[in-house]
Amino acid sequence: MSETVEDFIAYCREHGRVCPMPMLGNQLWELLPNRRRVGLGWKPPTPLILAAWHETPAMLKMLRLQEHIKWADKYGSLNEVATFLRGLREEQWHHLGE
């Protein structure tokens, strides 16, 4: 992949995109390598879905997606994650104001 992680994050924010819709956000998280339990949580943290979906501001959802993208880059799966996210139709993304 010739683009930088920052360029890819910028792509994910184009057109007011926040993050994938909940089921797709979970699929993305499952693509991430080296996921592991840490205490009562996970590293990297799980996507902000289920009850957290309605109570979490868009900016925090955007930051969680960014964290997942950077995790993918760190552990060598950025191409797989980028392919997944670039394959989503626009209606499969949550957008600002929705």
Q: With CA atoms as reference, report the closest residue to 43 among 22, 63, 68.
A: 68
| Predicted pLDDT of residue 52 | 85
Predicted confidence (pLDDT) per residue in 56-72, tens digit: 999 999 999 999 999 99
pTM of the predicted model as reported, rounded to 2 decimal places:
0.94
Distance (Å, whole) CA 72 – CA 12:
14
